[in-house]
Every structure is written in C-alpha cells, then in structure tokens.
Chain A
Amino acid sequence: MTVKTLLGNCTEPVIFIGRVASAVPLVFTRRGFRVREFLYYLDLCGARSVGIVLMICFLMGGVIGVQAAIQLQKVGSEIFSADLIGFSVLKEFGPLMVAMIATGRAGSAFAAEIGTMQVDEEVSALATMGIRPEAYLVLPKLIAMIIALPVLTVFGDAAGVFGGMLIGVTAMGLPAAAYWGRTVEVLNFTTFALGALKSVVFAVLITMAGCYCGFRASNDALGVGRGATSAVVSSIFLVVVADAVITVLYSFIGY
C-alpha cells in the first residue's frame, strides 16, 4: 500500500465525520429534523431489539454468575457474586452486548440501505436536489441510535442482573433477598450512568461506521454486501477499542 492510498484511507473517514458534524445544526431547523425517519429507526434499532437484548443479557448474566460461583465458592464468599455480576453487567457487558446486537441489526442495515441508495444513484439524486446526503440519511439514524442504545442498556442491565441472581439463588443457594440487598447496596446510579454513557459512544461509532461503509460501497450489488460486512467488522472493532479506552479513562476517575 502506497503512502498516498494509506493517507487517502485515513482522510476519507475524517472528511465524512466532518460532513456529518457540520450537518448537525440542521437538526434544529424546520426541515432538517425528519421526524418520520427518526421514528422509523427508533423502532428498528430500539423497540424491535428489546426481546433479543433481554434474552442475550439474561444469559450473559447467568454465564458470569456460573463463573463467579465456581471461583467464589473456593473462598466461601458467594455473596460477592452480586458485586461481580452487578458491576460487570452494568459497566461492561450490558452496554457491550447491546452494542453487538445493534451492530448486527442496525449497523449492517444502515450500510446496506445507504449502499443500495448509492448504487441506485439515489444519493446523487439527493445531492442534485441540493439536499445534503449526510444530513438527510445519517442524522435521523444517529439520533435514533443515541436514544435507543442507552434505553436498551437499561433493559439489558436489568436482565443481566436478574440472570446472575438466578444462578446465585439456584446454584449457590444464596437467599434471594440477601442477593438483591447486596446488589442494590453496591450498585448506584453512577455505575449505571457510566455504562449508559458508554452506549452513547457506541451508538455514534456504530452509526458512523455503518453509514460510512454504505456511502463508500462500490457501484454494484457485490459492493453493497461487502459494505454491510465491513460495517459489522469495523463496528465491532471500534466498539471494543472504545470500550477499552473508556474503561481506562473511568479507572482514572476512580470507577
């Protein structure tokens, strides 16, 4: 890869981010905010993902619960599994699992939708109507995702804690009241809010990666498929890297 293509590969996403960012103020104009599209994506990324989020986070909580049980039984401190599960679900696995589901569901759909529009010259048609494609196509998705992901994280957190509790009560024989008491004792709003804040960052990353891969899709049906694939791969990569960075940042402020 020559230096020129390498630079080209880096400048393109930066230009895209700049275009979207400069379109953000349009949200506050009369025609800039597209309520109908916003609601459509809120439904797609949010409402329709609640079931799968509940199920996956519940299982994830249970799986962590099993591992916690095995280790904590060695030292006879099973009750701390409430801490372990509560913190890891609220701070890590809730937002992360929601992000993975949103990547598979929304990120790939965004790339495929915009990619198809690119191939069908609909994106060009928008531009020649004097409408900014970035504003028209990206902003409704971005806002919907920024709202949907933290809300889904609430559901995911609850399901995860419940899944862990089920293992704690059944496998470790902890009294449900004691487990619940310990959970609400150690977890507070900040724990939850820091996790939800992560999911806002993930929402931006997933939407931007999905839309960018769509706009970049080469001009054929094959390109659309490839765009959707690279949207998923790059979203997962970005989300995990961002998660690592944010976790380090949180540790600096003592969380």
Chain B
Amino acid sequence: MPADKAIEVQNVTIGYGDRVLMQNISFSVGKGEIMCILGGSGCGKSTLLKHIIGLYSPQAGDILIDGRSIVNAGEEGKRSIMREFGVTYQGGALFGSMTVAENVALPLEEYTDYSSSKIAEVVEEKLKLVDLGGFGTYMPSELSGGMKKRAGLARALALDPHLLFFDEPSAGLDPITSADLDRLILRLRDNFGSTIVVVTHELDSIFTIADRVVMLDKATKSIIAAGNPRQLLNDSPNRWVRSFLGRDGLKSSDETDFQVKKVD
C-alpha cells in the first residue's frame, strides 16, 4: 500500500437513494498535497466531501484514509478515523448555544486532558490564527457569515489535524479575507505538512493553493479533468475545462493563448 497517499477514492459511486450523482470515480490525494474539488453548483461536490469524511457510505467502491477503509471501518473505527479530521462546512456549522470560544474548545474538551487554562490558551491561539482574536465571548449569531466560517475553521484546527477538508471556505468572503484564507491554507500545509481538500469556485484560490484539482461533471457523472490547474488550463483536451479555468478570474498574462469564454 503506497504510504504517500493520504486519501484514495476507488471506483466510488455516490448519490442519494436511487439518484446517482457521480459514477465510478477514482482519484487520490497525496500526503501534504492541496487538492481542490471543482464543478458546477449541485453536481455533488459537498456530497463527495461528505462521503470522503465518512458521513455517508458510497453506493459502490471504497475510500481509504491513510490506507484504512473508512467505508468498512464500522461505527467505532469510523469515529476514530474522523477524529483525525478537521472539517469546515459551507455555513460554519457553529453550535448556536455556545460562545465562539466554547465552540473551539469542544474538540479539546472531548479529546484532550488539558486543563481549562491550557484549553483557553489554545482556543485564543486558534482564534488569532483566523484573525478572530478577542471574539471568543461572542455568540455565533453575533458574527457575520465570513466570521462564522473562520470560527468554524478555528474549531477545525483545534486538535491540529493533519487532514483538513474545507467546503467552500471563501464563498461569500470579501477578496481580502479570501486571500488571507488562501495564505492560511498554504501555511498549514507548509508548516504542518497537512493534507488539504478544498471545495471551491474561486479561480484565484485555485491557482494560488491547488497542487492538483479534480473537476466533476454533472452530465457525465464523472471526473472530466484531474491534474495541475495551470497544466489543465493550457493542455486539457476538453474545451469546457479550459474555459472553466480560464474564466475572467485568472489575471496572469502567461495564458493568453487561450480565448476567455464564459460557459455558464
């Protein structure tokens, strides 16, 4: 078993009930790699992410996390694999009845034997990391959408997980915050060697952070492109892929051989 693969998706079919969203797809994410999942809205990106992190079981195929199948791990095994994850959701998914600090502290209280002062210290450190220092006493309802997302990120980072999953982390953020987030993602990988899977639409982000992308296609229920985004932009045989990656979001001039054309 190749030890350099953090995530392996093997011939997986996903969907809800009788409805199939993606058929027989395979890809892998190397350790310390940043992988972006792209695709039109509603094609199943979030669903795929939820399958990888074990919230749903695929209709067919297997998903390996560090070489262990999360599909066949059983309830207890699944929970122990999940503890290694840091996950953020599209809306932040903070617990509304707790303060921001209590939200971030929850995984620490659950899985460490830290004293309460040590927990408070880690919480403040994580909040500073996402630029929310001093907001610990706020309730989630008092935060803006972007702040909620960042608080969710702080919570996901609480236990210093080496596998991170972000679902549209920068959607709805202003460009500056979103660029900060990209820098943070890169820093997490560079400093801690984290493996990071990001669902995103932002072309700026993709070209800044992604080592590789997989692009999902709704119509064919399959992966229509996988690889380095810059190479795909230039060399993909698929016009649609090139035009998706070439949307006006890309400002650099080195890809001028491609005619920018909107597809949606």
Interface residues of A (CB under 8 A from B): 31, 40, 116-117, 120-122, 124-125, 127-132
B79, A122: Cβ atoms closer than 8 Å: no
Question: 4 tightest A-B contacts by CB?
Answer: A121-B89, A130-B83, A125-B93, A121-B93
Known: A128-B82, A130-B82. A121 touches B91 (CB 8 A): yes
**C-alpha spacing A226/B83, complex, angstroms:** 33
**C-alpha spacing A121/B96, complex, angstroms:** 12
B79, A125: Cβ atoms closer than 8 Å: no
Q: Report the minimal beta-carbon distance from B81 to chain A, rounded to whole angstroms.
A: 9
* Of the residues B55, B80, B97, contact of A127 by C-beta under 8 Å: B55
A131, B110: Cβ atoms closer than 8 Å: yes
A116 nearest in chain B by CB position: B96
Instruction: List the B side residues contacting A40 at CB < 8 Å.
Output: 97
* Of the residues A117, A120, A129, A132, contact of B106 by C-beta under 8 Å: A129
Q: Report the minimal beta-carbon distance from B129 to chain A, rounded to whole angstroms.
A: 18
Can you name 28 A-B residue pairings with CB atoms under 8 Å? Answer: A31-B109, A40-B97, A117-B96, A120-B89, A120-B91, A121-B90, A121-B93, A122-B96, A124-B50, A124-B55, A124-B87, A125-B87, A125-B95, A125-B152, A125-B155, A127-B55, A128-B54, A128-B87, A129-B82, A129-B83, A129-B106, A130-B79, A130-B80, A130-B82, A130-B83, A130-B111, A131-B106, A132-B79
**C-alpha spacing A125/B167, complex, angstroms:** 12
B93, A130: Cβ atoms closer than 8 Å: no
Q: Is there a chain A Cβ closer than 8 Å to B213's Cβ?
A: no
**C-alpha spacing A124/B85, complex, angstroms:** 12
**C-alpha spacing A125/B80, complex, angstroms:** 15
Q: Is there a chain A Cβ closer than 8 Å to B94's Cβ?
A: yes
B79, A124: Cβ atoms closer than 8 Å: no
What 1/0 flags go to B87-114 for Cβ under 8 Å of A?
Answer: 1011101111100000000110111000
Interface residues of B (CB under 8 A from A): 50, 53-55, 79-80, 82-83, 85, 87, 89-91, 93-97, 106-107, 109-111, 152, 155
B50 nearest in chain A by CB position: A124
Instruction: List the B side residues contacting A121 at CB < 8 Å.
Output: 89-91, 93
Q: Report the minimal beta-carbon distance from B152 to chain A, rounded to whole angstroms.
A: 8
Instruction: List the A side residues contacting B106 at CB < 8 Å.
Output: 129, 131
A122, B95: Cβ atoms closer than 8 Å: yes
Instruction: List the A side residues contacting B55 at CB < 8 Å.
Output: 124, 127-128
B148 nearest in chain A by CB position: A120
Known: A124-B50, A128-B82. A31 touches B93 (CB 8 A): no
A132 nearest in chain B by CB position: B79
B87, A130: Cβ atoms closer than 8 Å: no
**C-alpha spacing A125/B152, complex, angstroms:** 9
A37 nearest in chain B by CB position: B97
Q: Report the minimal beta-carbon distance from A164 to chain B, rounded to whole angstroms.
A: 41
**C-alpha spacing A27/B56, complex, angstroms:** 27
**C-alpha spacing A125/B87, complex, angstroms:** 7
**C-alpha spacing A127/B78, complex, angstroms:** 10
Instruction: List the A side residues contacting B82 at CB < 8 Å.
Output: 127-130
Instruction: List the A side residues contacting B152 at CB < 8 Å.
Output: 125
Instruction: List the B side residues contacting A131 at CB < 8 Å.
Output: 106, 110
A124, B93: Cβ atoms closer than 8 Å: yes
B95, A31: Cβ atoms closer than 8 Å: no
Interface centre among A117, A124, A127, A128 (most CB of B within 10 A): A128
B110, A129: Cβ atoms closer than 8 Å: yes
**C-alpha spacing A144/B218, complex, angstroms:** 47
Instruction: List the B side residues contacting A31 at CB < 8 Å.
Output: 109-110
A122, B94: Cβ atoms closer than 8 Å: yes
Q: Report the minimal beta-carbon distance from A2 to chain B, rounded to whole angstroms.
A: 11
